[in-house]
């Protein structure tokens, strides 16, 4: 994850964040992060939060990061979901703090960005995904305000990613529920997704990998738009010729072949010819093999007649054999295998569907897979139904219970399940069919005939006693309808006798059955009359009564313009060896159905196959057709157009198999082909619904997981006009080279300690020891200060407050606030109590801080109440007994410095009294000590100096380093805030320890140091003079 947004600036020790806002970073918890023991880190942060009063937003943010990483690592889906949910909760907690004005507002965009990712992860794992995709999209949109260009492009890419997936799932959800209309919202979201991906492609801040993947995704958007609009443009994927990423070409070729497939599906069959194998497909060859198998299936359905069963089945078996090797890699192929096996190898079908359900169990909630899984479950019940009808497998009563417990959400599957359940119930107890039907008499009649039609289909698929059982149920239902709708009942009774004739064992009984079907159909009148004539003629044909069959077929042609009758008239001519007349009939059927509109292809194929059958046959004449108007026929016939069912769907098993495969093919292409699309991240949770349909190793390359919390040292050094010539910079004992602009950067593990030294002739040395205890950019900006010399000067001194009558001649320079000190409670206290040693004004504390002895204390006197004592700033008891405080100073950030007279040192405390460090040790300084720890001998008073108004960058003012002047027996020493000795501008007079108090005016190279000699009661001034640089 990019961490550049964490921006903690240090101007040679002057922290932008106050000490109160660094508690979490100083806790050391983040140093454990790089170990990957996120449970341990999580527990540490939760324990810290239990007592923390500051930095809670930072703690919640990193707690969210812990849960996010734990979610990625979780083996169990529910555990991963729980972690991602908790991650969102903590990111939201952090965002509430930051939005209310936290000092950590620099984390705001990162919190939004990672919240977006956590929502995206829930969309991968939890159902339904649409809500989480929308929430992820909203969070990524808010994160676009980041100043981090790389992070902004990643957020923009993820907006497109979530929008694309939302539109896809919305389409599938709508289609599954039976809604086929386009969604204006989905179309709008897809348009936005395309714009996002295109912007990522053109941005200079985007990696070449993310650009390549965004290019593919932009075309995926166009493909999804085509699926919504059911029209694929010819130029899809034309823009992907030269993606500048090695290894992307196979994915591009695969994507292009998906586009060709769908173009073929929507009517441009020439596009199907461009789908096929290529050596450049890499890991996508099996995907394209599935597409090729589907195209081959469609080609067979278009080319072969269901009546030519052996050729048809041989071709389909070849497709099935091609699918078997890829069924373990493409789960969709396993489903389609089950569908083909249902027709071709019935005994193997149930096993394939069971395997498919087992291998997709973890995807059961994903709408894409839920549809196929529900269909697979239905197929298993359908297979069990047919087995039960044959006296095998489960009993119908058991199947009835299972179907009642099966409640699919997909409308198409639900309708099939409802029908199958009703058929089972009717077969089990046909006598109660009318009783259990609901609604008006007319509604019940409609249901009876609906059941009759579907039972005819089932009867058509079986023989012997299995068919007899179904025919008996049909007979009962026909008894319910015969007095209420006699003509319709008589029509279906004719079909009943036709199917009954087929299962007769003896040829004589079979012929009698067809004759009975003809007799019943002959009596049908009304709207079913013409289709009944067709059943009558077909029955006579099956009974081999060719003359009477021919007579009725001619009547159907001349009076009803029936094209189906032309085909079967050709069959009569073929049986009676009039091959010329038969050819004319078959050719007419082909001419009339050459457009292959819905329903026409089966008759075109039938006639084409029949022509091939008699290709070499000779005999007959076309004169037999002189009085027959075969050229005036049409398809479908006018009564079929009005909704009268046609016989052919009931009476031929091959016809059922053919149409089963046609309908399943449409279903599978609509719901079962999942276009692989690039996965955005290099990380993925276990059981991700998106990862299973990705492009393999070609991902967006986004590394959003925070694996190692690091600090990036961003060093910038400002040199005055003297320049950087002769300056050396040493980092951790190793020389480094600054850029011409004086900059340097390097990444360190959080918690690392760095030692920085910058030395050069004419400059005060900079010696820094820093612990990189904060994540992200650790900006150190240093303004180099020329060395100074000091000489006596005559300048009016600042106000000196003296306390007459005190035995120690104590005096304090003070002119910070406008309120006079004389006469105040503070002044009176100092006048009367020798234990009050020194005071200093602190804007940070809004008052004056006083240091005392016997006992050692630091007191705050408010400037808002005439300097009356308000509170004690607690300092550790362990230090109080070891201190002999004499002087106090406070820097602009509230850091408190106290001289320890007998300890020969300076103690440094935070604004709240927390001990920070010790400066100095006993000894005398020499020029060789410059840049090393200062030596002190009975230090007394000190003052703080900070340079300001140095322009570091355009429109940026940088406050310079904090320096201290401290007096001791040997004079006034100049040190930095870490206690490194810079020089002694004022040496002591003959009376050691005479300089009891001091003050400094000015900034930069123009300083005036004032010292008070308590023995002579005189004030001396020393003026700084920059030393000339060679």
Secondary structure, 3-state, 158-211: HHHHHHHHHHHHHHHHHHHCCCCCCCHHHHHHHHHHHHHHHHHHHCCCCCHHHH
Distances (CA, A) of 476 to 455, 471, 494, 496, 709: 12, 9, 15, 12, 78
Q: Is residue 855 part of a domain?
A: yes
Residue whose pair of structure tokens reads 């500048």 in the numeric block: 244
DSSP element (H, E) containing 385? helix 367-389
Q: Is residue 123 part of a domain?
A: yes
The pair phi, psi for residue 713, each rounded to 5°, is -70, 120
- Structural domain count, the chain: 3
Angle at 412 between CA 291 and CA 435, to 5 degrees: 150
Q: Is residue 279 part of a domain?
A: no
User: 208 with 118, same domain?
Assistant: yes
- Please tell me the distance from the alpha carbon of residue 857 to that of residue 878, in angstroms, as a whole number: 13
User: 772 with 827, same domain?
Assistant: no
Q: Provide the CATH number for the domain around residue 49.
A: 1.25.40.10
Q: Say what the pLDDT of residue 954 is.
A: 47
- Please tell me the distance from the alpha carbon of residue 137 to that of residue 162, in angstroms, as a whole number: 6
Quick count: other Cβ atoms within 10 Å of Cβ 924? 12
Q: Give burial (CB, 10 Å; 0-12/13-18/19+) of 831.
A: middle
**With the C-alpha atoms ordered 943, 949, 951, 954, is the resulting torsion angle positive or negative?**
positive
- What residues make up the domain containing 950? 790-1026
Q: Provide the CATH number for the domain around residue 729.
A: 2.60.40.1120
User: 756 with 869, same domain?
Assistant: no
Least Cα distance to 633 among 689, 673, 672, 593 occurs for 593
Sorted by sequence, the CB contacts under 8 Å of residue 522 that are 6+ apart come out as 532, 536
The pair phi, psi for residue 534, each rounded to 5°, is -65, -45
User: 774 with 855, same domain?
Assistant: no
DSSP element (H, E) containing 588? helix 579-592
Q: Kindly compute the dihedral angle of the four CA atoms of residues 398, 401, 405, 409, in this order, to the nearest 10 degrees.
A: 90
Side-chain-facing half-sphere of 389: CA atoms under 13 Å: 29
Q: Are 306 and 657 in contact (CB under 8 A)?
A: yes
Q: Say what the pLDDT of residue 8 is.
A: 34
Q: Is residue 500 part of a domain?
A: no
**With the C-alpha atoms ordered 271, 275, 279, 284, is the resulting torsion angle positive or negative?**
positive
Angle at 762 between CA 759 and CA 764, to 5 degrees: 50
- Please tell me the distance from the alpha carbon of residue 492 to that of residue 478, in angstroms, as a whole number: 8
Residue whose pair of structure tokens reads 């990162």 in the numeric block: 110
Longest Cα–Cα distance in the chain: 150
Q: Is residue 715 part of a domain?
A: yes
User: 49 with 69, same domain?
Assistant: yes
- Please tell me the distance from the alpha carbon of residue 719 to that of residue 416, in angstroms, as a whole number: 82
Side-chain-facing half-sphere of 641: CA atoms under 13 Å: 8
Least Cα distance to 765 among 753, 757, 754 occurs for 757
Q: Is residue 446 part of a domain?
A: no
DSSP state of 981: E
Q: Are 572 and 584 in contact (CB under 8 A)?
A: no
- Please tell me the distance from the alpha carbon of residue 830 to that of residue 852, in angstroms, as a whole number: 10
Q: Say what the pLDDT of residue 704 is.
A: 95
Q: Which two tokens stand for residue 664?
A: 């399943």
User: 876 with 767, same domain?
Assistant: no
Q: Say what the pLDDT of residue 139 is.
A: 96
| String of DSSP letters for 391-428 | T-SS-HHHHHHHHHH---SSHHHHHHHHHHHHHHHHHH
The pair phi, psi for residue 715, each rounded to 5°, is -95, 130
Q: If you count them, how many residues does the chain have? A: 1030
Q: Provide the CATH number for the domain around residue 923.
A: 2.120.10
Q: Which two tokens stand for residue 916?
A: 């920070």
The whole-angstrom distance between residue 115's C-alpha and the CA centroid of its chain comes to 10
Q: Say what the pLDDT of residue 573 is.
A: 96
- Please tell me the distance from the alpha carbon of residue 413 to that of residue 428, in angstroms, as a whole number: 22
What are the 10-residue block averages of pLDDT along the chain, 1030 residues in total? Answer: 35 33 70 84 90 84 95 96 97 81 68 96 93 97 88 96 95 85 85 95 90 91 88 68 70 88 87 82 88 91 67 85 89 93 88 95 86 96 86 82 94 92 90 88 90 85 82 92 92 92 91 95 91 94 95 95 95 95 95 81 86 92 94 86 73 72 90 91 94 89 88 84 77 91 85 86 83 78 84 90 86 75 85 92 90 93 76 88 92 93 95 93 91 92 75 51 90 91 83 79 86 87 75
Quick count: other Cβ atoms within 10 Å of Cβ 869? 15
User: 749 with 807, same domain?
Assistant: no
- Please tell me the distance from the alpha carbon of residue 371 to that of residue 364, in angstroms, as a whole number: 9
Q: Is residue 980 part of a domain?
A: yes
Helix (H, G, I), strand (E, B) or coil at 123: helix
Q: Say what the pLDDT of residue 307 is.
A: 52
User: 856 with 1005, same domain?
Assistant: yes
User: 775 with 895, same domain?
Assistant: no
User: 172 with 71, same domain?
Assistant: yes
Q: Is residue 438 part of a domain?
A: no
Strands 734-736 and 699-702, by their bridges, are unpaired
Quick count: other Cβ atoms within 10 Å of Cβ 253? 18
- Please tell me the distance from the alpha carbon of residue 1017 to that of residue 804, in angstroms, as a whole number: 12
Q: Summarize the chain as % helix, strand, coil (round to 5).
A: 50, 20, 30
User: 864 with 754, same domain?
Assistant: no
Q: Say what the pLDDT of residue 15 is.
A: 30
Of 783, 816, 843, the residue that ends a domain is: 783
- Please tell me the distance from the alpha carbon of residue 1006 to that of residue 788, in angstroms, as a whole number: 9
User: 840 with 764, same domain?
Assistant: no
Least Cα distance to 953 among 15, 14, 11 occurs for 11
Of 763, 783, 803, the residue that ends a domain is: 783
């Amino acid at each position: 994850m990019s961490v550049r947004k964490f921006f903690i600036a240090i101007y040679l020790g002057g922290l932008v964040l106050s000490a109160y806002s660094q508690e979490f970073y100083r806790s050391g918890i983040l140093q454990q992060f790089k170990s990957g023991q996120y449970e341990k880190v999580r527990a540490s942060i939760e324990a810290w939060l239990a007592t923390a009063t500051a930095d809670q937003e930072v703690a919640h943010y990193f707690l969210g990061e812990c849960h996010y990483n734990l979610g990625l690592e979780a083996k169990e889906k529910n555990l991963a979901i729980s972690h991602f949910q908790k991650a969102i909760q903590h990111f939201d907690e952090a965002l509430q703090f930051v939005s209310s004005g936290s000092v950590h507002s620099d984390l705001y965009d990162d919190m939004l960005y990672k919240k977006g990712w956590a929502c995206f992860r829930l969309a991968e794992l939890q159902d339904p995904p649409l809500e989480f995709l929308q929430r992820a999209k909203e969070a990524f949109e808010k994160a676009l305000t980041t100043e981090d260009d790389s992070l902004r492009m990643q957020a923009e890419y993820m907006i497109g990613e979530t929008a694309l997936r939302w539109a896809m799932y919305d389409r599938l959800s709508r289609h599954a529920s039976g809604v086929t209309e386009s969604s204006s919202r989905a179309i709008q979201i897809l348009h936005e997704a395309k714009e996002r991906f295109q912007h990522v492609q053109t941005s200079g801040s985007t990696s070449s990998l993310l650009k390549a993947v965004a290019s593919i995704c932009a075309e995926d958007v166009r493909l999804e738009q085509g699926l919504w609009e059911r029209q694929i443009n010819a130029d899809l994927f034309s823009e992907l010729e030269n993606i500048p990423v090695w290894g992307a070409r196979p994915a591009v070729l695969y994507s292009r072949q998906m586009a060709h497939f769908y173009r073929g599906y929507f009517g441009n069959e020439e596009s199907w010819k461009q789908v096929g194998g290529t050596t450049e497909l890499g890991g996508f060859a099996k995907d394209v093999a599935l597409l090729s198998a589907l195209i081959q299936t469609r080609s067979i359905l278009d080319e072969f007649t269901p009546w030519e069963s052996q050729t048809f089945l041989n071709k389909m078996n070849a497709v099935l054999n091609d699918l078997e090797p890829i069924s373990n890699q493409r789960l969709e192929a396993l489903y389609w295998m089950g569908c083909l096996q249902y027709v071709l190898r019935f005994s193997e079908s149930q096993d394939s569907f069971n395997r498919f359900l087992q291998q997709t169990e973890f995807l059961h909630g994903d709408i894409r897979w839920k549809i196929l899984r529900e269909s697979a479950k239905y197929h298993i019940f359908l297979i069990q139904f047919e087995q039960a009808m044959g006296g095998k497998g489960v009993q119908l009563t058991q199947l009835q219970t299972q179907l009642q417990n099966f409640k699919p959400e997909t409308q198409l599957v639900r309708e099939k399940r409802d029908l199958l359940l009703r058929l089972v119930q009717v077969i089990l107890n046909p006598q109660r069919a009318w009783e259990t039907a609901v609604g008006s008499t007319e509604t019940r009649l409609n249901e009876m005939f609906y059941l009759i039609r579907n039972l005819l289909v089932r009867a058509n698929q079986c023989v012997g006693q299995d068919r007899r059982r179904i025919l008996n149920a049909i007979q009962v239902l026909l008894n319910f309808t015969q007095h209420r709708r006699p003509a319709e009942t008589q029509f279906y009774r004719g079909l009943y006798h036709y199917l009954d004739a087929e299962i007769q064992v003896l040829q004589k009984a079979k012929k009698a059955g067809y004759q009975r079907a003809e007799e019943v159909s002959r009596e049908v009148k009304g709207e079913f009359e013409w289709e009944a004539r067709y059943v009558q003629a077909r029955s006579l044909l099956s009974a081999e009564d060719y003359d009477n069959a021919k007579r009725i077929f001619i009547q159907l042609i001349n009076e009803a313009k029936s094209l189906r009758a032309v085909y079967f008239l050709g069959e009569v001519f073929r049986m009676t060896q009039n091959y010329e007349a038969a050819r004319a009939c078959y050719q007419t059927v082909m001419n009339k159905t050459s457009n292959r509109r819905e329903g026409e292809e089966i008759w075109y194929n039938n006639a084409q196959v029949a022509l091939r059958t008699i290709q070499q046959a000779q005999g007959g004449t076309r004169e037999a057709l002189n009085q027959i108007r075969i050229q005036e026929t049409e398809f479908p016939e006018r009564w079929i157009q009005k909704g009268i069912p046609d016989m052919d769907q009931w009476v031929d098993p091959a016809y059922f198999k053919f149409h089963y495969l046609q309908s399943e093919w449409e279903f599978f292409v609509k719901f079962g082909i999942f276009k692989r699309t690039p996965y955005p991240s290099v990380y993925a949770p276990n059981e991700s619904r998106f990862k299973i349909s990705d492009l393999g190793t070609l991902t967006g390359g986004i590394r959003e997981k925070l694996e190692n919390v690091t600090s990036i040292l961003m060093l910038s050094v400002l040199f005055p006009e003297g320049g950087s010539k002769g300056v050396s910079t040493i980092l951790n004992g190793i020389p480094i080279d600054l850029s011409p602009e004086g900059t340097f950067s390097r990444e360190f593990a959080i918690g690392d300690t760095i030692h920085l030294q910058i030395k050069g002739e004419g400059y005060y040395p900079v010696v820094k020891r820093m612990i990189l205890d904060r994540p992200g950019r650790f900006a150190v900006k240093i303004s180099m200060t020329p060395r100074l010399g000091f000489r006596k000067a005559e300048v009016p001194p600042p106000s000196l407050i003296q306390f007459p009558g005190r035995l120690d001649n104590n005096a304090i320079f003070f002119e910070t606030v406008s309120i006079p000190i004389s006469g105040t409670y503070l002044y009176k206290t100092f006048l009367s109590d020798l234990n009050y040693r020194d005071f200093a004004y602190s804007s940070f504390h809004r008052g004056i801080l006083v240091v005392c002895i016997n006992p050692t204390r630091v007191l705050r006197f408010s400037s808002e109440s005439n300097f009356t004592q308000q509170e004690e700033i607690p300092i550790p008891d362990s230090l109080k007994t070891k201190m002999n405080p004499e002087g106090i100073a406070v820097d602009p950030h509230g850091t408190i410095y106290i001289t320890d007279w007998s300890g020969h040192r300076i103690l440094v405390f935070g604004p709240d009294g927390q001990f920070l460090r010790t400066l100095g040790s006993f000894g005398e300084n020499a020029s060789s000590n410059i840049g090393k720890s200062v030596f002190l001998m009975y230090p007394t008073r000190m003052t703080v100096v900070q340079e300001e108004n140095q322009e570091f960058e355009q429109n940026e003012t940088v406050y310079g380093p904090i320096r201290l002047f401290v007096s001791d027996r040997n004079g006034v020493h100049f040190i930095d805030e870490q206690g490194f000795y810079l020089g002694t501008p004022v040496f002591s007079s003959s009376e050691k320890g005479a300089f009891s108090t001091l003050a400094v005016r000015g900034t930069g190279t123009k300083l005036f140091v004032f010292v008070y000699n308590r023995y002579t009661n005189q004030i001396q001034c020393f003026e700084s003079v920059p030393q000339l640089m060679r």
